[in-house]
Every structure is written in C-alpha cells, then in structure tokens.
C-alpha cells in the first residue's frame, strides 16, 4: 500500500493527507513515517478511535501535523483541516 501511495503522491502531489490509524491491513503510523521519508511535505491529519496515553505525541513524532479523535464533530474536523491548509 505504501509503495502505491508514494508513487501516486509523486505523480499528483496532495494538498492534505488524511489517514485513519485503523486502516485494515496497514499501520497508520508507519504509513505517516513512510510518507514523510519520501519527502512529502503536505499536512497529514490522522483520525483515530484509539485512546492511548501519549498518542498525540506519538502521532506527531511520526510526522503527522494533527490528530482528531473519533467520534468527531464534522465542523470541528473541517475547521482543523482549514487551519492546516492555511499554515
């Protein structure tokens, strides 16, 4: 999956990337790290239902810009996405 994503991002750069940590068959944090290792600088927003200690720090340490906990309010998600896009 990461190889396909990397080639897609090389061909068509993204303005923003949303990743769910609960992706079936993938480790979302590893995916974030691989995206950053490819030199992609687009903001990455991670969605998760997990509530683990230090999760925010772990996600940011992997290279993501923002973490949104599920369930989330759609307006709040849109607000955070706009804020990331403006940065």
Q: How confident is the model at residue 59 (pLDDT cuts 50, 70, 90)?
A: very high
pLDDT in tens, 10-28: 788 899 999 998 877 778 8
Question: pTM (2 decimals)?
Answer: 0.87
CA angle, 81 as apex, 79 and 83 as ends, to 5°? Answer: 70
Reply yes or no: is the peptide bond before residue 71 cis, omega within 30 of 0.
yes
Question: Quick check: helix, strand or coil at residue 12?
Answer: coil
Q: Please determine, for residue 1, whether its predicted confidence score (pLDDT) is greater than 60.
A: no
Cα dihedral sign, 63-17-27-49? positive
Write the pLDDT tens digit of every residue in 33-52. Answer: 989 998 899 999 999 998 88
How many Cα atoms are found within 13 Å in the side-chain-facing hemisphere of 87? 13
Please give the pLDDT value at position 72.
Answer: 92
> In terms of CATH, what superfamily is 2-86?
Response regulator (3.40.50.2300)
């Amino acid at each position: 999956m990461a190889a396909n994503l990397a080639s897609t991002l090389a061909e068509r750069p993204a303005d923003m990337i949303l990743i769910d940590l609960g992706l079936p068959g993938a480790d979302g944090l590893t995916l974030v790290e691989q995206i950053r290792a490819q030199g992609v600088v687009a903001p990455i927003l991670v969605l998760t239902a997990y509530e683990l200690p230090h999760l925010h720090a772990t996600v940011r340490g992997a290279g993501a810009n923002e973490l949104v906990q599920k369930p989330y309010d759609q307006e709040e998600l849109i607000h955070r996405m706009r804020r990331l896009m403006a940065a």
